[in-house]
Amino acid sequence: MKHKFLLFCIFSGARLFIFLQKQYSYLFFFNEQSHLFLNGFDYFKEALTTPGGFLNWLSDFLIQFFIIPYAGSSITAIILTITAYFLGRTIQQLSGSATWAFTAWIPMIAQMWITTYTNSNFVGTLAMLAMSIATWVCLHISSSRFRLLYEGILGILLIWLAGSIGILFTSWSLLYEVC
């Protein structure tokens, strides 16, 4: 079942790329034109001084490539597919059933629709990726002491680097440890 989910993610990611390219290719050019990425250390240093600034900087960095044909839809499809994969693995480990892993594509479809909204920000897609990887890593730490330390440090780091998604991770960590 592990390989079935991986193949499903690859197939769904390819279909997502085709869909985004056929239906929303204009949107990626628009998003690139409405963002400004300054390539300099001062801009990066200033981004790190604000909560969520690193992912805002990374988002602007990736958006600058949206001007290249097929780049916007491929970057978006790859990020959403990786997010769905890690989220599916997390759901599979929590539920104990490999079938439930396929439900990870439900929030990814919603995230895709949010991404295609003209006034949305690409940083939300990256924040969802950061949170899904953080929860997946958390479930693979067997020692409860190290896991609690990891959850505490990473909760603060996610708030600082990724913004408000760190609160979602911290809430999930609290519920996971209580249950």
pLDDT tens per residue across span 137-160: 988 888 888 988 888 898 888 888
pLDDT for 1: 56
pLDDT for 46: 87
pLDDT for 17: 94
Least confident of 59-73, 85-99, 113-127: 113-127
The whole-angstrom distance between residue 25's C-alpha and the CA centroid of its chain comes to 21
The average pLDDT across 43-60 equals 88
3-state SS, 56-97, equals HHHHHHHHHHHHCCCHHHHHHHHHHHHHHHHHHHHHHHHHCC
Q: Which residue has the higher pLDDT, 106 or 32?
A: 106
Stated pTM of the model: 0.88
Query: What residues contact residue 118 under an 8 Å CB cut-off, 6+ apart?
Result: 27, 30
CA distances from 55 to 36, 47, 75, 157, 158 (A): 14, 9, 15, 12, 10
Condensed to tens digits (0 to 9), the pLDDT of residues 96-125 reads 888 888 888 888 888 888 888 777 788 888
> In whole numbers, what is the pLDDT of the chain averaged over residues?
87
pLDDT for 79: 95
Q: Which of 177, 84, 92, 95 is nearest to 132 (CA)?
A: 84
